[in-house]
Amino acid sequence: MKMVVANWKMHMSGAESERFFKDLMKEVTPGGVEVVIAPSNFALYSLSKIKQWQFSLAAQNFYHMDYGAYTGETAVRQLVGVADYALVGHSERRQYFRETNKDTRRKVAAALSVGVKPILCVGETAMERENKETDDVVRDQLLAGLADVTPTQLKDVVIAYEPRWAISTAKNVGVCTPEDARSALTFIRQQLKELYGKTARVLYGGSVKSDNIVSYLKKGEADGALVGGASLQLKEFGDIIEATKAVR
């Protein structure tokens, strides 16, 4: 089944998130695609009932430690029973909050240890792409993030390839064609096969919309998409879900 992850970033209050979801239910019929909503951590509880409609929830961020004196953080254990998934190493975390490959390694391992499935985000900057470093950067991010992941655990890991220069809010945003996406996704699957003898679900993210998602799934061979800006627009997001359902 294809997967669509809505990354709401730092938008919407708890009440607004609930209202959005209620309205979304009028646009779509549940099932046929795995839809994961990643609201602000603050709104996770408000949305916990969405699971009865076969939607899943993801945290956008957490700290790898169990409970402790870490003011302002969300412990990985606090996600248990609330979030099914958690984003790890999103480019905005790497860029604005200086998250490193060492952090993503700890977070992936911590999430798996409590039964939360990590969605490890990887992707190069515009400059790295210009310098033809895409493969090296993606390989480093993958190897580091997955360093403690066993072959048995791989089935619970999702990889999201998000070229930073194609994220809709990036400066001078560029277009990652489905062909570009496919070559990065193929590279990621090859790396996983070398490491584990098998692959994991690999998503594409970066300016995904209802009018291009099918090409990323078909031509790009993505197992799904990580959607930012377009997931905040009700009709648009509903159309993304319905378009994804039609792709088998």
Name the burial class of residue 132, with classes exposed (0-12), middle (13-18) and buried (19+) by CB atoms within 10 angstroms of its CB. exposed
Could you confirm whether 128 is annotated as catalytic?
Answer: no
- Considering only 48-56, 70-78, 103-111, 161-169, which stretch makes contact with ligand PGA by CB under 6 A? 161-169
Q: Does 207 bind ligand PGA (CB under 6 A)?
A: yes
Residue number with CB closer to ligand PGA (4 or 153): 4
Site map (CB under 6 A) of ligand PGA, residues 115-144, x = contact? ------------------------------
Q: Does 228 bind ligand PGA (CB under 6 A)?
A: yes
Could you confirm whether 64 is annotated as catalytic?
Answer: no
Q: How far is the CB of 241 from ligand PGA (least distance, A)?
A: 14
- Binds ligand PGA (CB under 6 A): choice among 3, 4, 6, 7: 7
- Determine the size of the site formed for ligand PGA (CB under 6 A): 14
- Binds ligand PGA (CB under 6 A): choice among 86, 106, 229, 240: 229
- Binds ligand PGA (CB under 6 A): choice among 206, 213, 223, 240: 206
- Binds ligand PGA (CB under 6 A): choice among 37, 50, 154, 167: 167
Q: Does 208 bind ligand PGA (CB under 6 A)?
A: yes
- Binds ligand PGA (CB under 6 A): choice among 88, 217, 226, 241: 226
CA dihedral 206, 164, 233, 235 (to 10 degrees): 0
- Considering only 14-22, 60-68, 183-191, 204-212, which stretch makes contact with ligand PGA by CB under 6 A? 204-212
- Beta strands 201-205 and 3-7 are unpaired
The region that residue 203 occupies, defined by phi over 0 for left and psi between -120 and 50 for alpha, beta otherwise, is beta
Q: Does 40 bind ligand PGA (CB under 6 A)?
A: no
- Beta strands 158-161 and 117-122 are parallel
Residue number with CB closer to ligand PGA (153 or 208): 208
Q: Which residues are catalytic?
A: 90, 162
Which residues sit at the interface with ligand PGA, rule CB under 6 A?
7, 162, 167-169, 205-208, 226-230
